[in-house]
Structure 1
Amino acid sequence: MTLEDQPARSATLRHAESDDDLRACWPVMQQLRPHIPSADDFIARVSRMRGQSYRLLAAWRGDTVLAMAGYRLQENLVYGRFLYLDDLVTHESARGEKWGARLIEAMVRTASEAGCVKLVLDTGLSNARAQRFYFREGLLSSAMRFNRPISATTAQETA
């Protein structure tokens, strides 16, 4: 059954806690993170990330996931206590139903309740559509992130 075929029931927000919940999240996450090769790999990664306070809040219509936000509560010297939004995605067939906005609002509430001073996320410089959405949701660009890929060869050369 596709999302379009399902009756117009109300959806609820709840965390994906079990492996079965994560498996239900996989088709949506795959749209955001196509480099993750399988549901089993996704579940293993989330299981490891839980040790770094990662949680996955999903919009559920019955057993079907419509959208999700992966996040973690963190603290550093730059921001103090903050909520980092790792992943935000809506299933392509549920786009336009305002799930991204609802999930960001839920993240703002979660951050506030946890005593955070900021909500932080990254998006690609070329992702203008996401940037417009974030601006509409009240998020402002305040930094530029730099990175350098590290390969096993590079790590061995510096040892």
Structure 2
Amino acid sequence: MQSTIIEISEQNTATAVPALRVLWPKYEAAEMVRIIDTVLRPNGYRLFGVVPAEGEPAACILGYRLQHSLWLGKSFYIVDMATLPEWRGHGFASQLLDWAVEEAGRLGCDALHLDSGVGPDRSDAHRLYMSKRFQIGCHHFVRKLR
């Protein structure tokens, strides 16, 4: 199903929250909107998504920011990507990844990358990434401080 990808502006952040809460259920909706609009957006975070009908939540979202590093040069980093369970299987995530590849090229990026959790519940996402020619480029280590 081909759909229109739109930028989700600050005035409409709440439309992305249901899909984002699939990834990050620890946040209440209002807190998530506050963090996105006051912390993430000022640091270059942008949200795009597929909204099935005006006034409805986004069926699938992609949040990204541009980064610069010695490893990858200028890169398009996908921070968040999620689909509401009832919209899975419609091809929206695939469509958003294709859009991201084109957008990264348009922005002059040398690479497009993302981190993805591990576990059996992530196998569908990992199959999608591999089908889009993503490669496992590194291990990502985390030491939580709180």
Would you call these one fold, judging by a TM-score over 0.5?
Answer: yes
Q: Aligned equivalents of 1:85 and 1:109: distance in 2?
A: 13
Aligned to 2:59: 66
Asked if 1:77 is matched to 2:67, the reply is no
Aligned to 1:149: 144
Is there any run of 5+ residues in structure 1 with no aligned partner, and where? 1-7, 152-159
Asked if 1:26 is matched to 2:17, the reply is yes
Rg: which structure is higher?
A: 1
CA contact (8 A) 1:11 1:62 kept: no
CA contact (8 A) 1:28 1:90 kept: yes
Aligned to 2:9: 17
| Structure 2 length-normalised TM | 0.90
1:136 to 127, 131, 145: 131
CA contact (8 A) 2:3 2:92 kept: no
2:95 to 89, 98, 102: 102
Q: Aligned equivalents of 1:18 and 1:72: distance in 2?
A: 15
Aligned to 1:41: 31
Amino acid paired to 2:84: H
| Structure 1 length-normalised TM | 0.83
Is there any run of 5+ residues in structure 2 with no aligned partner, and where? none
Fraction of identical pairs, as percent: 25
Q: Aligned equivalents of 1:51 and 1:77: distance in 2?
A: 23
3-state SS of paired residue (1:58)? strand
Amino acid paired to 2:137: S
How many residues align? The count is 141
